[in-house]
A and B are shown apart, each in its own frame.
Chain A
């Protein structure tokens, strides 16, 4: 049980995909303009991570090593499609604002990295916890970035405006703001010892 908890927490702290491994940057930079989008993206990626880790771990002894990557992609793409159609059906607003970035979860490095580095070598239960931890870590990372960018760039939190003014720092919701916020947060997480150099 203790090792399961460790598999879960490492994705949030030392191996945090956003601040520690620095993986999956395209959605992190592109979608973190608002907290709502970021949480949606994080939950979608977590869903795919958990289920792809589960299936890949269960099939790890049946997939021949030479075709393992195509096999992973087929498995991941299946869950991404499930996720995409689900969001389209039940959360059309989120689907519209995330757009192409939901199907692009298929090529998200975090999911491929965990399939290759963890799920293909470990038993099912640790793989689920690993996927869950990585997913929560990713969701937290992208949400923190989105919180800061949305607050400074458009003066609101999850779409709820705080001030009736339009003097906000426009650059924060543009591309440079994403890179600036992310770089400073990586520095901070290393300073605090959450992730390692």
Chain B
């Protein structure tokens, strides 16, 4: 995307692209994963998505109306934030949890800074971290897939952190999403379909997702087991929210670096922090914290990876 932002010498060609169009297309690219989530966890997942999207749209509308700013709820960014937040929730949370999280995402994560384009942190992740800190009990209770009743189970990542071997979950299960987890993160296949669409249409570049996933895989291979170079790197890549985070949240235009070089630094930084939190931190999953920490570092990365301007 960053080369689309470069201003070159005239003549310029007008493209149909707009913020609104991109936001709706990213939302579209998330649909396969949402359908997979509904299929795996039941209709409850659909309700959570609907509530989160509705709450974030209403919050955005209300805040823009109160502060008498231009109402921009139709640009799709609030819908996208609500949807991404819902994808980061377990399927059986109480109904008010997605509402509270989405309202917090939009109000504190986005509108406080002045709306779309001004926010420092990814709003959906701000909402997720808020929910994680406030109601950890709901955020870490996961239902078993395909059971449609509230049988709770540990996530593969929690088992990996405790050093256990994933006996009953195969790589294929992880790839197709037959494992406990958050609604939108489990089905890697569906996520990759959406990601391929975004990559082929050049709405995202490969730099952040690939450097992020590669770093996570490499470091978990080196340090993931008791001896060096013996970690179960494929499980680390396929479990948790890595694929969802790397393709759909770390690549957020507003909160990631502009240049390719900066994006590589961003992705590698996210990977290092994710592995550190997963292997040695207090939480089993570190993707959301890793992306948020690197969001904070983005202005600095942009400053040090500024392209050289010839002739100046």
> Which residues of A approach B to under 8 Å, CB–CB?
167, 169-172, 174, 176, 180, 184
Contacts of B133 in A (CB 8 A): 170-171, 174, 176
> Which residues of B approach A to under 8 Å, CB–CB?
100, 108, 112, 130, 133-136
The answer to whether B108 and A167 have CB atoms under 8 Å apart is no
State in angstroms the CA–CA spacing of A174 and B135 once bound together.
Answer: 12
State in angstroms the CA–CA spacing of A171 and B112 once bound together.
Answer: 18
B108's partner among A170, A172, A174, A180 (CB-CB below 8 A) is A180
- Smallest CB gap from A187: residue in B: B112
State in angstroms the CA–CA spacing of A171 and B135 once bound together.
Answer: 8
Contacts of B100 in A (CB 8 A): 169
State in angstroms the CA–CA spacing of A77 and B74 once bound together.
Answer: 59
Most B Cβ at <10 Å: residue of A169, A174, A176, A184? A169
Contacts of B134 in A (CB 8 A): 169-172
What would 15 A/B residue contacts be, using CB atoms closer than 8 Å?
Answer: A167-B135, A169-B100, A169-B134, A170-B133, A170-B134, A170-B135, A170-B136, A171-B130, A171-B133, A171-B134, A172-B134, A174-B133, A176-B133, A180-B108, A184-B112
Where chain B touches its partner, the secondary structure class is helix
Contacts of A169 in B (CB 8 A): 100, 134
The smallest beta-carbon distance between A72 and chain B, in angstroms, is 38
State in angstroms the CA–CA spacing of A180 and B104 once bound together.
Answer: 11
State in angstroms the CA–CA spacing of A180 and B134 once bound together.
Answer: 14
State in angstroms the CA–CA spacing of A174 and B132 once bound together.
Answer: 12
- Smallest CB gap from B138: residue in A: A167
State in angstroms the CA–CA spacing of A91 and B145 once bound together.
Answer: 55
Contacts of A174 in B (CB 8 A): 133
The smallest beta-carbon distance between A40 and chain B, in angstroms, is 27
The smallest beta-carbon distance between A43 and chain B, in angstroms, is 31
- Smallest CB gap from A172: residue in B: B134
The smallest beta-carbon distance between B44 and chain A, in angstroms, is 19
- Smallest CB gap from A176: residue in B: B133
State in angstroms the CA–CA spacing of A171 and B126 once bound together.
Answer: 13
State in angstroms the CA–CA spacing of A172 and B112 once bound together.
Answer: 18
Contacts of A170 in B (CB 8 A): 133-136
State in angstroms the CA–CA spacing of A180 and B133 once bound together.
Answer: 14
State in angstroms the CA–CA spacing of A180 and B112 once bound together.
Answer: 11
- Smallest CB gap from B131: residue in A: A171
Contacts of A180 in B (CB 8 A): 108
State in angstroms the CA–CA spacing of A145 and B71 once bound together.
Answer: 31
Question: Which 8 residue pairs of A and B lie closest in terms of their CB atoms, listed nearest first?
Answer: A171-B133, A171-B134, A170-B134, A169-B134, A171-B130, A174-B133, A170-B133, A176-B133
